[in-house]
Structure 1
Amino acid sequence: REMQDQPTGKLPTDFGVADELTDLAETFNGLTERLRSSLRRERRFRADAAHNMFTPLTAIQSELDVTLRKPRSKTEYREALHAVRQHTERLSSLLGELMTLSRIEAREGRPTPSPIDVHACIRDRIRRVQDRADAKDISIDWTGTTTAEAPIDPEDLDLVVDHLLDNALKYTPEGGTIQVDVGQTDGAVVVRVSDSGMGFDPEKSGRLFDRFYRSNDAEQSADGGGLGLSIVKAVVERYEGTVQAESPGSSQGSTFYVRLPRDRK
């Protein structure tokens, strides 16, 4: 009777006296709640993914429908094709990020790579985006120790740095600045990427790494799938590191910190 009165999938824990059965029931209930929470997050993730893919697909269909209603001039056809291409690129970028995040989260086992030169890897990634920064007249100031090493796969570090730089370049206006610094402290390598861009509400700092989360200002200022910082978080935490975001407020720039342990026990 008592079992039937409990919420679905939950065991009773009040047996009149605390014993091994109480501990077992509480452990089971905690596990059940974690599973439910995980399922809720996955359902929300699938719904958000579908919505984010449906939006550019709808835009493409609408653009094509309008264009095909009647003959157009050569210029109008080119404009329509350009719009379709933009929506296609957005969809392709989103699918690429989804696949990357899925691969990271599907990995099993504890990674045990050899230490690599973090300074050299980041310097190379900065060079790769220099033309993009120059096109917006954004200066990238680069400082840091030359002896920073951490045990992380080079491709994973590239993912982290590429997404942090991409985030800074997207949300920093023309003529702005980006500062990249690498240092060592408390047994960890710390990568800091600061920008003079749009910033964010300090109360929302924790949500920036949620999958598909984008602030209202971010939605209006630049395209993006909302998975870049989620990928950064997933990679860093796989190596037992941490990520953090800070900003004084809207339009006041932002700073992202990545801490990678130099020694893993």
Structure 2
Amino acid sequence: MRDLLLIALYAALGAAAVGLAGLLALRALRRRSVAVSLAVLTAVAVGSVLAGTLSVAWAMLLNKHDLGVVTTVCAMAGVTATATALLLGRWVIGGHRALEQAARALGDVGDAGGTGGGSPVGRGSEAGVPGRAGGVTGAAASAAAVGVGGDRPAFTVPGVSAGEASAGEARTGPVGYSGGGFVEPDTPMPAELASLSRQLAHTSARLAMSRERERALESSRRELVAWISHDLRSPLAGLRAMAEALEDGMVEDPARYHRQIRGEVERLSGMVGDLFELSRIQAGSLALSPSRISAYDLVSDAIAGADALASELGVRLADEGVEQVPLEVDGREMSRVLANLLVNAIHRTPADGTVAVAARREENAVVLSVTDGCGGIPADDLPRVFDTGWRGTDARTPPGGAGLGLAIVRGIVEAHEGRAAVRNVPGGCRFEVTLPACR
């Protein structure tokens, strides 16, 4: 029993000495390849056995023959273990190199297309406005490109509509992505590296989605700036011409010119009001004052407010079934939502057409809908209907619009924790606003 205790003691001392040396070696080589660290670990394991054996032999508890046998066995085991460690290290290094090479593509997602460089000034045709030369100049550029604070663009969209164009319906929400630049390598690798590879692939996909959304936002911003620059320049030029004619005394009917000037000023004032409203929505500073209100009263007031415009354009307003359901909303802001939808529908419905309004309860929600007779929206345009600056084709563009009305609708509805959607129906399209029902 005493001999066994002595053998254990000497073996422990020898192994401890080799282990301490191994720790110092690992610390000194911690920045080297993993293969070197594995080789050191192998040397420590075999060296501990050999050191313990030599310690026991030094204490004369092991004869020379047995010492030679143990030493030979340890040497062969050391060679095999070292070779195995080097192979394992080479495998890990190979997986690391494959992962490193694949990770280089992580930052290249979307670099070919970029986010759309260059200034929007002077690029009306690039912004989706064919046939309009020139860009934003002077005060028009400042008004169109700068937000309320004057230090950043005001026309960014909280989310780009992904849409369900194939089903004839578009809903507000994040845009889909087509994949990232990182591709998981096929090289076999340890579980830790494989987990890192999967995480990099997920991060790359999110980066691709973010860049796709950024490109869509930039395109929308440039298109909006081009539209607004045109809509500001045209009436300003007309106002200047009418003012000069009045100054020169060349007008036979000054009252008519005064009415036209007042109408243009009111239109420009409405456009500026829309810009500030959109800026407040996107800055998150839209303060709501919710109160309990009946959907019937809300719809009735909106129809009454749009009746004059509908009569002027020869469009009928119809009640498609408005239920007496309560809502907890900001009455002023929600009235603006319905007014924007009704004005949009009236302008896009031909004379003798009908615009129908409805309100109904569905489970835990209330759905307000406005159906027009526009003939439908192309499937490719459905995902963009609620984007800032979208106005469709020239044939469907109402006079004086800046493409902000539906973007304001989406912002106000989402501020009420609701959802705005549009889908095609026979003869036209239906805009639906879904709001939480009163608890």
TM-score range with shorter-chain normalisation? 0.7 to 0.9
| Number of matched pairs | 257
Deviations 1:90-148 (CA, angstroms, capped at 9, x unpaired): 22221111111111222269979465422221122222333443444543222435332
Q: Which of 185, 199, 203 matches 1:27?
A: 203
> Given residue 18 of structure 1, which amino acid in structure 2 is its aligned partner?
A
Distance of aligned partners of 1:125 and 1:202 in 2 relative to their CA distance in 1, 3 Å threshold: same
Aligned to 1:259: 434
Aligned to 1:99: 276
Q: List runs of 5+ in structure 2 lacking aligned partners.
A: 1-99, 112-180, 186-192
1:72 aligns with 2:247: no
Q: For 2:319, what is the secondary structure of its paired residue?
A: strand
Q: Which of 377, 380, 402 matches 1:225?
A: 402
Whether the 8 Å CA contact 2:182–2:204 is kept in 1: the answer is: no
Q: For 1:97, what is the secondary structure of its paired residue?
A: helix
Q: For 1:189, what is the secondary structure of its paired residue?
A: strand
Deviations 1:209-257 (CA, angstroms, capped at 9, x unpaired): 22222222123x5332221111112222332323214254xxx443222
1:59 aligns with 2:238: yes
* Whole-angstrom CA distance in 2 between matches of 1:21 and 1:111: 45
Distance of aligned partners of 1:22 and 1:236 in 2 relative to their CA distance in 1, 3 Å threshold: same
Distance of aligned partners of 1:92 and 1:27 in 2 relative to their CA distance in 1, 3 Å threshold: same
* Whole-angstrom CA distance in 2 between matches of 1:27 and 1:18: 14
Aligned to 1:40: 218
Q: Which of 324, 330, 333 matches 1:156?
A: 333
> Given residue 203 of structure 2, which amino acid in structure 1 is its aligned partner?
T
Q: Quote the offset at 1:8 in angstroms.
A: 9.4
Percent identical residues: 28
> Given residue 410 of structure 2, which amino acid in structure 1 is its aligned partner?
K
Q: Quote the offset at 1:180 in angstroms.
A: 1.1
Q: List runs of 5+ in structure 1 lacking aligned partners.
A: none
Whether the 8 Å CA contact 1:206–1:245 is kept in 2: the answer is: no
Aligned to 1:213: 390
Q: Quote the offset at 1:182 in angstroms.
A: 0.9
Whether the 8 Å CA contact 1:118–1:149 is kept in 2: the answer is: yes
Distance of aligned partners of 1:9 and 1:18 in 2 relative to their CA distance in 1, 3 Å threshold: farther
Q: Quote the offset at 1:158 in angstroms.
A: 0.9
TM-score normalized with structure 1 length: 0.74
When structure 1 is superposed on structure 2, of 20-29 and 151-160 the one drifting more is 20-29
Deviations 1:181-225 (CA, angstroms, capped at 9, x unpaired): 1112243211121234x3343323333322222222123x53322
Whether the 8 Å CA contact 2:361–2:367 is kept in 1: the answer is: yes
Whether the 8 Å CA contact 2:282–2:411 is kept in 1: the answer is: yes
Q: For 2:430, what is the secondary structure of its paired residue?
A: strand
Whether the 8 Å CA contact 1:101–1:231 is kept in 2: the answer is: yes
Q: For 1:164, what is the secondary structure of its paired residue?
A: helix
* Whole-angstrom CA distance in 1 between matches of 2:213 and 2:372: 39
Whether the 8 Å CA contact 2:370–2:430 is kept in 1: the answer is: yes
Q: Quote the offset at 1:161 in angstroms.
A: 0.8
1:139 aligns with 2:139: no
Q: For 1:18, what is the secondary structure of its paired residue?
A: helix
Aligned to 2:297: 120
Q: For 1:58, what is the secondary structure of its paired residue?
A: helix
* Whole-angstrom CA distance in 2 between matches of 1:195 and 1:15: 49
Q: For 2:336, what is the secondary structure of its paired residue?
A: helix
Q: Which of 197, 201, 207 matches 2:377?
A: 201
Q: For 2:250, what is the secondary structure of its paired residue?
A: coil
Whether the 8 Å CA contact 2:291–2:331 is kept in 1: the answer is: no
Q: Which has the higher contact order (CA 8 A, sep 6+)?
A: 1
> Given residue 96 of structure 1, which amino acid in structure 2 is its aligned partner?
G
Aligned to 2:418: 240
Distance of aligned partners of 1:135 and 1:8 in 2 relative to their CA distance in 1, 3 Å threshold: closer
RMSD: 3.9
Distance of aligned partners of 1:245 and 1:54 in 2 relative to their CA distance in 1, 3 Å threshold: farther
Q: For 1:222, what is the secondary structure of its paired residue?
A: coil
> Given residue 419 of structure 2, which amino acid in structure 1 is its aligned partner?
G
* Whole-angstrom CA distance in 1 between matches of 2:432 and 2:205: 36
Aligned pairs for 1:168-179 within 5 A: 168-179=345-356
Distance of aligned partners of 1:42 and 1:224 in 2 relative to their CA distance in 1, 3 Å threshold: closer
From the CA coordinates, give the structure whose radius of gyration is larger: 2
